[in-house]
Amino acid sequence: MSDYRIETKCIQSGYTPKNGEPRVLPIYQSTTFKYDDSDQMGKLFDLEASGYFYTRLQNPTNDAVAAKICDMEGGYAAMLTSSGQAANFYAIMNIAEAGDHIICSSAVYGGTYNLYAHTIRKMGIQATFVDPDCTPEELDAAFRENTKAVVGETIANPALTVLDIEKFAKAAHAHGVPLIVDNTFATPINCRPFEWGADIVTHSTTKYMDGHASCVGGAIVDSGNFDWTKYADKFPGLTTPDETYHGLVYTERFGKGAYITKATSQMMRDLGSIQSPQNAFLLNIGLETLHLRMPRHCENALKAAEFLKSQEKVAWVNCPSMEGDKYYDLAKKYMPNGTCGVITFGLKGGRDAAVKMMDSLKMIAIVTHVADARSCVLHPASHTHRQMNDKELLEAGVQPDLIRFSVGIENIDDIIDDLKQALEAV
């Protein structure tokens, strides 16, 4: 970890050119790397030497960007993945297998819910979903003999619940398992979960990190703080010989780097969801301005939330940074400088009014995305959850009138003008 402040890390971490080398991180658009003799390459295959030989395992552009994200989070090691979904999949599969169990906050991204509730279940891993606002006793009761990890989102997409990271970390550690936090919405600019006890952080870099809606991508960062050897029986994949590397033991050989080395040399080797070096290059450009964009997203979101709250036709507004929000106190604790640019709101006219308002927006676009420079909206009842009737929607925790509003970094007056004229049409 460098001693730089977070703003400097956004720009300087991960890549330091030597004399005469390119000032800007180069795109190593090459699948392979050349060696003078076959013995050198053999040592790389055995993980006896470190170096590049095939981009599915490692690539210098990707490694530099992963190292920057690692430094920003205050972690020990990190890797990029092709998407946030791949990051959340590998983060679990790296330490759990058929017969195991995980605990997940029920307020998570829909894709993550499907992945943990259905897809990994077919692979033999069961998930228990807990209310993020549960008591420590309720959380404690969700653990089983075979529980291998606890998972949550710093700020849930789209529920906007704020995770009590310390409460979840304490429970996980009491049961000898790591806490994995998806830090996509907060970004390391606003929250660094390792400082509150989380062990592993994941990201959909597709969102604020990229910031321009240009590349789908993900990242996994390990704090290096979880002692796998202390609970060796629970994590045999890390603490017993890997026959695919001539009996190497990850914790013995790589110490604090065991988790990410295994995820790279085993998960990525076999499952192959790599980020392309071209996309990593674009992600890096996004990261260079993350510290400038996040405060503006937060400032605009709070102003938009306050405007909406003052409107006669608006029934309710969720924004964790707004005084009176259910998660205001937790947000102040974990994210004193701001939360994110995403807010949700509902109209008194319900589902029909929501559709009418969205269709009347001129600048703010209807898109299936969040967390980029442009303001956009999505109406789950008409889009992601459109097959459900109002009763089913409520059971799924989605109010029929809920509009998810990702506030961009345009001038706030233009954003509010657009909201105003669209509300008038309702």
Q: Which of 63, 71, 182, 325 binds ligand PLP (CB under 6 A)?
A: 182
Tokens 């927006």 correspond to 361
Which residues, including other chains, have CB under 8 Å from residue 56's CB and lie 6 or more apart? Answer: 268, 269, 272, 274
CA–CA dist 289, 180 (Å, integer): 26
Per rule CB under 6 A, is residue 321 in the interface with ligand PLP? Answer: no
Pick one of 85, 94, 161, 266: the residue that binds ligand PLP (CB under 6 A). Answer: 85
- What does the chain come to in residues? 426
Tokens describing residue 164: 């009590």
Nearer to ligand PLP, 343 or 355 (CB): 343
With CA atoms as reference, report the closest residue to 160 among 384, 312, 330.
330
Say whether residue 84 binds ligand PLP (CB under 6 A): yes
DSSP line for 103-129:
EEESSS-HHHHHIIIIIHHHTT-EEEE
Kindly list the distances between the CA atom of residue 318 and the CA atoms of 297, 398, 409, in Å, as whole numbers in the listed order. Answer: 15, 13, 19
Closest distance of CB 357 from ligand PLP, Å: 23
Shortest Cβ distance from residue 193 to ligand PLP (Å)? 13
Q: Is residue 109 involved in binding ligand PLP (CB under 6 A)?
A: yes
When asked if residue 190 is in the footprint of ligand PLP (CB under 6 A), the reply is: no
Who contacts 194 (Cβ-Cβ below 8 Å, separation ≥6)? 73, 74, 75, 201, 223, 225
Any idea what DSSP says for residue 161?
P
Shortest Cβ 158–ligand PLP spacing (Å): 9
Please say which residue, 85 or 239, places its beta carbon nearer to ligand PLP. Answer: 85
Cβ nearer to ligand PLP, comparing 40 with 114: 114
Q: Which stretch binds ligand PLP (CB under 6 A): 16-24, 79-87, 378-386, 410-418?
A: 79-87
**CB of 108 vs ligand PLP, minimal distance in Å:** 7
Cα 57 to Cα 272: distance, rounded to the nearest angstrom: 8
* Nearest CB to ligand PLP, comparing residues 13 and 82: 82
The angle at the Cα of 275, spanning 274 to 281, to the nearest 5 degrees, equals 150
Q: Considering beta carbons, is residue 153 or 164 the nearer one to ligand PLP?
A: 153
Does residue 188 interact with ligand PLP by CB under 6 A?
no
- How many residues touch ligand PLP under the rule CB under 6 A: the total is 17
Taking CA atoms, 347 is separated from 38, 353, 381, in Å, by 67, 6, 13
Residue number, nearest CB to ligand PLP: 84
Tell the smallest beta-carbon distance from residue 180 to ligand PLP (Å).
12
Alpha-helical runs (H) found in 14-156? 38-45, 60-73, 84-93, 110-114, 120-122, 136-141
For position 111 contacting ligand PLP by CB under 6 A, the verdict is: yes
Tokens of 408: 């961009």
Site for ligand PLP in 203-232 (CB under 6 A): 204, 206-207, 216, 218
Q: Does 357 bind ligand PLP (CB under 6 A)?
A: no
The alpha helices in 175-276, defined as continuous H runs, are 187-190, 236-239, 250-254, 258-262, 269-271
* CB closer to ligand PLP, 157 vs 261: 157
55 in contact with ligand PLP (CB under 6 A): no
Contact assessment for residue 223 and residue 372, using Cβ atoms and an 8 Å cutoff = no
Q: Of residues 61, 62, 112, 344, which one binds ligand PLP by CB under 6 A? A: 112
Q: How far is the CB of 182 from ligand PLP (least distance, A)?
A: 5
Q: Residue 157 interacts with ligand PLP (CB under 6 A)?
A: yes
Please pick, from the candidates 71, 73, 100, 153, the single residue that binds ligand PLP as defined by CB under 6 A.
153
The two three-digit tokens of residue 17, written as one number? 């050119």
Please report, as ranges, the residues that interact with ligand PLP according to CB under 6 A: 83-85, 88, 109, 111-112, 153, 157, 182, 184-185, 204, 206-207, 216, 218
